[in-house]
Amino acid sequence: MREVAVLGIGQTSIDEHWEKSLRELAGEAVLASLQDARRESVDGVFVGNMMSGSANHQQHLGALVADWVGLRFVEAIRTEAACASGSAALRAAMIAVASGAMESAVAVGVEKMSDSPGPEITSALATAADADYEADQGLSFVALNALIMRRYMYTYGWKHADFAPFSINAHANAVNNPYARFHEPITADGYLRASMICDPINLMDASPMGDGAAAVVLVPAETIRFQAKPLITLAGSAAATDTLAIHDRVDPLWLSAAAASASRAYAMAGVGPEDIDLFELHDAFSIMAALSLEACGFAERGQGPRLAQEGGIFPTGRIPIATLGGLKARGHPVGATGMYQIVEIVEQLRGQAGKAQIDGARVGMSQNIGGSGSNIVTHILRAS
């Protein structure tokens, strides 16, 4: 496989974009990424999206997006892996460019959730879980995560307040991200007083919905080695699945697919957790941030909250996470999230993250989680 580089990035703000349609959001991000890459076209378009069939009565987003941005007759498909749909698009695009099947590709994640009533979105989100054995029993997606968090608190002896640093860090960092949904810092007291959604998950443990799109342009690294400064490559890329339903897992408190995909990505990039300068993880719920840190080797099993409390996750800590707000405060437009993570890592590696800049960032990692840990995609980006 050829080494693949990120040549351009683009994103929309995350918001309730009543004035923009699904195609307009995707188009805005794709065209921005092409402009950033100084390219007029690409050979392929890979669209990550989870729920446009339900939320927008529109599927076939490969053709929709290619058509809308004027890339007539290119190859284009949609990838879907629930909440990991965005990074699944990136990985498919990377493999296509690495294989030689294409000389360039754009991967875009897009989701437009505001158009649908809340109950329909709750129903659409539940399609990420097991329809027959979880959703049909009345479990919403937040309820699944609440079960995991409650069990984690019971097993490892954590209190709800111990998870506060995840949300405080995310909101503090989002203040410096102009594309983020929220720009207000929160306090430990505010965290504790937030409305309960599904015990023990309260409003400050849960990421917000939103509409948005983020895109990157990929090319073979060899074609831009002497022009891109810095050259940013996809040094590691891997995906792994686990059981769809939580009850089938040997240990519901261990993200086996996260561990598997991270270890494959580490091996491909020739690095370990100690080499990662920042980690854009999937903090859809604060419990998922803890579990992801543990599965990827940044904290001992059951000790994610301790790492957070000791400040290890802050911008100046050992492993900064959610450096531009994360899912919690940047926002979580489901199928777009994986691409926002990548775009933000590129901003960090380019030194373009403004007040959110992580000093000396050279290696960044993303992890995008589909379902309750059922499909997990990890990428490692390196600047040289």
Omega prior to 333 cis, within 30 of 0: no
Dist CA 257 CA 210 (whole Å): 26
Query: For residue 29, which amino acid is it?
Result: A
Q: How far is the CB of 131 from a copy of itself (least distance, A)?
A: 4
Window of 29-37, 207-215, 233-241, 358-366 that interacts with a copy of itself by CB under 8 A: 233-241
To the query of whether residue 83 is one of the catalytic residues in this protein, the response is yes
Task: For a copy of itself, give the closer residue by CB, 295 or 307.
Answer: 295
Residue 118 tokens, joined = 């809340």
Q: Which residue from 154, 121, 117, 166 is spatially nearest to 140, judged by alpha carbons?
A: 121
| 113 to 132: interface string for a copy of itself, x by CB under 8 A | ----------xx-xxxxxxx
Q: Does 228 bind a copy of itself (CB under 8 A)?
A: no
Dist CA 69 CA 65 (whole Å): 6
Q: How far is the CB of 219 from a copy of itself (least distance, A)?
A: 15
> CA angle 24-27-33, nearest 5°?
145
Quote the DSSP letter at residue 357.
P
Q: Does 50 bind a copy of itself (CB under 8 A)?
A: yes
Window of 145-153, 161-169, 207-215, 252-260 that interacts with a copy of itself by CB under 8 A: 252-260
Q: Does 206 bind a copy of itself (CB under 8 A)?
A: no
Q: How far is CA 310 from the centre of its chain?
A: 24
For 381, phi then psi, to 5°, come to -110, 140
Q: Where are the alpha helices (DSSP H) in 136-211?
A: 141-156, 164-174, 188-193
Q: Does 74 bind a copy of itself (CB under 8 A)?
A: yes
Q: Does 222 bind a copy of itself (CB under 8 A)?
A: no
Q: Which residue from 220, 32, 18 is spatially nearest to 108, judged by alpha carbons?
A: 32
Q: How far is the CB of 198 from a copy of itself (least distance, A)?
A: 20
Q: How far is the CB of 47 from a copy of itself (least distance, A)?
A: 9
Q: Does 139 bind a copy of itself (CB under 8 A)?
A: no
Q: What is the dihedral of CA 136, 141, 146, 149, to 10 degrees?
A: 120
Dist CA 173 CA 226 (whole Å): 33
Q: Does 135 bind a copy of itself (CB under 8 A)?
A: yes
Q: How far is the CB of 51 from a copy of itself (least distance, A)?
A: 7
Q: How far is the CB of 177 from a copy of itself (least distance, A)?
A: 29
Q: Does 99 bind a copy of itself (CB under 8 A)?
A: yes
Residue 227 tokens, joined = 């022009």
Residue 55 tokens, joined = 């939320």
CB distance 146 to 48 below 8 Å: no
Q: Which residue from 94, 129, 109 is spatially nearest to 268, judged by alpha carbons?
A: 94
Q: How far is the CB of 304 from a copy of itself (least distance, A)?
A: 22
Q: Does 58 bind a copy of itself (CB under 8 A)?
A: yes
To the query of whether residue 296 is one of the catalytic residues in this protein, the response is no
Q: Does 92 bind a copy of itself (CB under 8 A)?
A: yes
Dist CA 356 CA 165 (whole Å): 17
| 342 to 371: interface string for a copy of itself, x by CB under 8 A | ----------------------------xx
First to last CA, the chain: 19
- Tell me which of 17, 83, 296, 379 is the catalytic residue: 83
Task: For a copy of itself, give the closer residue by CB, 58 or 384.
Answer: 58
Q: Does 242 bind a copy of itself (CB under 8 A)?
A: yes
Q: Does 140 bind a copy of itself (CB under 8 A)?
A: no
Window of 26-34, 244-252, 272-280, 298-306 that interacts with a copy of itself by CB under 8 A: 244-252
Dist CA 213 CA 30 (whole Å): 8
Contact residues for a copy of itself, defined by CB under 8 A: 1, 21, 23, 45, 50-54, 56-64, 66-67, 71-82, 88, 91-92, 95-96, 98-101, 123-124, 126-132, 135, 238-245, 248, 256-257, 260, 370-371, 374-375
Which residues belong to the active site? 83, 332
